[in-house]
Chains A and B, each alone.
Chain A
Amino acid sequence: MARPSLRSFVESRSYSTHDSCTVGKRRLHNSAAVTDSPITHGRRRLRAVVVGSGPSGFYTAKYLTSSVNKRIAADRETATSSSSSSTSSSSWPFSGIDIDILERLPTPYGLVRYGVAPDHPEVKNVENDFAAVPGNTHSRAHGGGTVSYFGNVDVGRHVSLSTLSALYDVVVLAYGCQSDRGLTIPGLDLRGVLTARQFVNWYNGHPEFGYVADIVREALWDRDGNNAGDVDDADNGAISKAKAVVIGNGNVALDCARILAKGRRGLKDTDVPSSVLDVLGDGVEKVVVVGRRGHVQGAFTIKELRELTKLQKEGYDVSFRVRQEELDMGMTEASLQELQLASGRPKMRIDALLREAAATTEEEGEGDHEAPTKTIELRLLMNPIRIESNNNRNNPRVHHVIFERTQLQGEPGKQLSVGTGQYEKISADLVILSVGYKGSPLEGMNENMFDSQRGIVVNNQGKVCGDNNLFVVGWIKRSPTGIIGSNIMDAKETVASIMKYIDSNPQNLLALHEDSDDDLSKGSRGLIRHLEANNVKYVTWDQFLQIDQAERDRDRLRNDVQPREKFLSVDEMLACLQSTC
């Protein structure tokens, strides 16, 4: 299939070297095709496309629609108040905006569906807000906008970035981070070592991560590697005697630990797929979460930590442990100063919480009351050096991880962990690396557009640097940190840049797409034509709603409160549409 690469697309435009990152400097290269078309010959609708349907994509669609509507309303007001001198030259040349959201999978919501922990259903409530975006805008009267959804469309494969750039006035990249931050230690390739991204996607039922099941099953239930052992125990609701090590100190690491420890009984009321529960059994006896630096530098937030401290009380049969001496070791002079900063409040509260947990840990050790069966332990100031195998030539597996004790050195806010030469071996049947996600360039992206060190698209307040109509939002704009709410300010910033771009380029936008609204070759209609020509079976919003409904069908659910039983493959989702569910 011949498709124009972005490179050739980009190279066809002229570049200026000195102001390559200013908003609204678009110049058209092929000016021969552009006549001085007057702005006033009838208004048209703006066309925008958002690549990715996670929180940043949906917030962008929502705010872009409302910004354009406000702009039009304000314009109308000025027009009526000065109607006597009715030259329409001051009025905005656009009558509304139509936004298409593209998604690689048939189902939308990105990390809300496949990242947010299944035992945090309240966080997923935001799906209802997003679901109103395509619905509401359709019914608005003239001047409003429409938001359409195209699932199962892989940008780079089904449609190139350069094609989108030509079809739409504005292209917003919101495709998030699809790879992992590197941790380069020996032993990463051993069977039984997973990245958090693999593990999280798997327990959330992502269609591309079903293969993880076998790796986890082996680690938890076939630790001898002879396949004879306790594989059936998972189904019998047994607790795995396996030991899991989660490397990393962020909320994702805590999510992984909690899911491993809770197991079937703790997760049966969530949307964890039943096949995943079959593998988890009733959880793992021992999970150790290990961080390189101290608790003051940890990336986790207090809600997730507090949740761990409450597991026992809430009946999950899991105790939480943290060592007083490790909390003290991390409390360097610089750490103390970090707590004093204005931004130190959350850290201060985390410190108080963990100290209390450490005290409880010690009390528990003394008492003779019955201890919970399962444990999550938080270890700090330990740097992973290498992952070692069981030395079984026929079936090499992870066996333990060697850590080096670290100490903190450096200025407040810039403390690094430095090795002390003391080593500790921690047994592990399963190792999960949770040291962060990383963004990758989209296929066809010009190398200047991507900062491969940070794994983000090079941008200035959401405008992709260079002479183009590309914008960026979310993790692929600001690197993979933050919560759903972080996307609100982020999307507002990108939308402000888009509005600035539109306002400073109305002639160019009109010239580029000088056609009227009836033109079949632009916007949604152009996209549909392209997809149909290439035999892409895209999924519409209504079709997604069908999939959604089918997943909630009572016959599929294991009990009355399970929110949904997800389809675990794209084929299953699409088959559901053909059989009209």
Chain B
Amino acid sequence: MLRRIASRSSNFVYSYSQTRPFPKPSHLATTTQQQIRQHGDGPGPDAPTIQLTFINPDDSQTTVAARIGETLLQTAHRTGIEIEGACEGVCACSTCHVILDQELYDTLLDETEGGHLGEDEEDMLDMAFGLTHTSRLGCQIHVSEVMEGSVITLPKATRNFYVDGHKPKPH
């Protein structure tokens, strides 16, 4: 299936010799501005909802009612799930990074234009903390019926900031 090949999950460790390792840069094909969905007020309290479960960084779980049509970032902010949205949902930072399970990742990817993520989202994910094969930005996912019962994992703080092996000197 062509779309699968275009997905990050299967491309993560491809060899350098491939001539076009990533989907054709979309600035040659489409305007990326159209792909950025803005973080507005979102649907009101009357909107139909589905159940989503967030796995928090401390492994606790929170199940919330997400409104169809709002972004995952809006769901999180509305229900008190701790996700930052530093750029306010305009795909200009990577602070609303979430991790999906493979099945949901694939389902959502199939629904995107061209079967791949927007260039801006990919660019921002490159800077995300703890990037995985099934990472997305919460501001770019709109809640829909297909997500009913899904589990969304928030990235964990596991990095030691002494990444280069530096040890504090005793004194």
Q: B157: which A residues are within 8 A, CB to CB?
A: 489, 492-493
Q: Mark B12-27, 1 if CB is under 8 A from A, else 0.
A: 1101100011100101
> Which of B22, B85, B86, B157 has the most CB atoms of chain A within a 10 A radius of its CB?
B86
CA distance A129 to B73 in the complex (A): 14
Task: Report yes or no: A483 in contact with B93, Cβ–Cβ below 8 A.
Answer: yes
* CB nearest neighbor in B for A18: B170
Main secondary structure of the interface of A (DSSP, over half): helix
Residues A465-492 near B (CB distance < 8 A): 465-466, 477-478, 483-486, 488-490, 492
CA distance A346 to B87 in the complex (A): 21
Contact of A458 (CB < 8 Å), options: B90, B159, B169: B169
Name the distance in Å between A74's Cβ and chain B's nearest Cβ: 12
Q: Mark A333-374, 1 if CB is under 8 A from B, else 0.
A: 000100110100110110111001000000000000000000
Q: Which 6 A/B pairs are nearest by Cβ-Cβ distance?
A: A346-B126, A122-B92, A126-B86, A448-B171, A478-B161, A485-B95
| Given A21-B168, A458-B168: A484 touches B93 (CB 8 Å cut-off) | yes
Residues B113-143 near A (CB distance < 8 A): 119-120, 122-124, 126-129, 131
| Given A125-B88, A128-B88: A489 touches B168 (CB 8 Å cut-off) | no
| Given A17-B170, A126-B87, A345-B12: A486 touches B124 (CB 8 Å cut-off) | no
Interface size on B, residues (CB 8 A): 39
| A302 part of interface (Cβ distance < 8 Å) | yes
| A427 part of interface (Cβ distance < 8 Å) | no
CA distance A461 to B166 in the complex (A): 12
CA distance A137 to B83 in the complex (A): 18
Main secondary structure of the interface of B (DSSP, over half): loop
Task: Report yes or no: B92 in contact with A120, Cβ–Cβ below 8 A.
Answer: yes
A-B contact count (CB 8 A): 114
Q: A20: which B residues are within 8 A, CB to CB?
A: 170-171
Q: A310: which B residues are within 8 A, CB to CB?
A: 27
Q: B123: which A residues are within 8 A, CB to CB?
A: 301-303, 306, 349
Name the distance in Å between B65's Cβ and chain A's nearest Cβ: 22
| B94 part of interface (Cβ distance < 8 Å) | yes
CA distance A547 to B84 in the complex (A): 27
Contact of B168 (CB < 8 Å), options: A348, A351, A460: A460
Residues A97-136 near B (CB distance < 8 A): 120, 122-123, 125-126, 128-129
Interface residues of A, Cβ cutoff 8 Å to B: 17-18, 20-21, 120, 122-123, 125-126, 128-129, 301-303, 306, 309-310, 313, 336, 339-340, 342, 345-346, 348-349, 351-353, 356, 448, 451, 454, 458-461, 465-466, 477-478, 483-486, 488-490, 492-493
| Given A123-B87, A310-B27, A352-B22: A340 touches B16 (CB 8 Å cut-off) | yes
Other 17 A-B pairs with CB < 8 A, given A125-B87, A303-B120: A120-B92, A122-B87, A303-B124, A310-B27, A340-B16, A345-B131, A351-B16, A465-B171, A483-B94, A485-B93, A485-B94, A485-B128, A488-B129, A489-B129, A490-B161, A492-B157, A493-B161
Contact of B13 (CB < 8 Å), options: A21, A340, A352, A490: A340
CA distance A493 to B166 in the complex (A): 17
* CB nearest neighbor in A for B160: A461
CA distance A489 to B127 in the complex (A): 13
Q: A466: which B residues are within 8 A, CB to CB?
A: 171
Task: Report yes or no: B86 in contact with A454, Cβ–Cβ below 8 A.
Answer: no
* CB nearest neighbor in B for A337: B16
CA distance A348 to B13 in the complex (A): 10
Q: A454: which B residues are within 8 A, CB to CB?
A: 166
Interface residues of B, Cβ cutoff 8 Å to A: 8, 12-13, 15-16, 20-22, 25, 27, 84-88, 90, 92-95, 119-120, 122-124, 126-129, 131, 157, 159-161, 166, 168-171
CA distance A27 to B28 in the complex (A): 64
CA distance A461 to B93 in the complex (A): 25
Name the distance in Å between A16's Cβ and chain B's nearest Cβ: 10
CA distance A339 to B128 in the complex (A): 17
Could you write out 11 A-B pairs with CB less than 8 Å apart? A18-B170, A21-B170, A303-B126, A340-B15, A348-B21, A348-B22, A352-B25, A458-B168, A478-B161, A485-B95, A488-B84
* CB nearest neighbor in B for A492: B157
Task: Report yes or no: A488 in contact with B127, Cβ–Cβ below 8 A.
Answer: no
CA distance A122 to B127 in the complex (A): 16
Task: Report yes or no: A339 in contact with B93, Cβ–Cβ below 8 A.
Answer: no
Task: Report yes or no: B92 in contact with A302, Cβ–Cβ below 8 A.
Answer: no
> Which of B119, B123, B129 has the most CB atoms of chain A within a 10 A radius of its CB?
B123
Task: Report yes or no: B129 in contact with A349, Cβ–Cβ below 8 A.
Answer: no
Contact of B126 (CB < 8 Å), options: A125, A339, A349, A488: A349
* CB nearest neighbor in B for A302: B123
Q: B168: which A residues are within 8 A, CB to CB?
A: 21, 451, 458-460, 465
Task: Report yes or no: A349 in contact with B27, Cβ–Cβ below 8 A.
Answer: no
| Given A302-B126, A465-B171: A123 touches B84 (CB 8 Å cut-off) | no
Name the distance in Å between A128's Cβ and chain B's nearest Cβ: 7
Task: Report yes or no: A486 in contact with B129, Cβ–Cβ below 8 A.
Answer: yes
Contact of A339 (CB < 8 Å), options: B16, B20, B92: B16
Task: Report yes or no: B16 in contact with A485, Cβ–Cβ below 8 A.
Answer: no
CA distance A125 to B88 in the complex (A): 6
CA distance A461 to B167 in the complex (A): 11
Name the distance in Å between B122's Cβ and chain A's nearest Cβ: 7
* CB nearest neighbor in B for A336: B16
Task: Report yes or no: A356 in contact with B25, Cβ–Cβ below 8 A.
Answer: yes
Task: Report yes or no: B127 in contact with A346, Cβ–Cβ below 8 A.
Answer: yes
CA distance A129 to B122 in the complex (A): 24
CA distance A129 to B92 in the complex (A): 15
CA distance A18 to B170 in the complex (A): 7
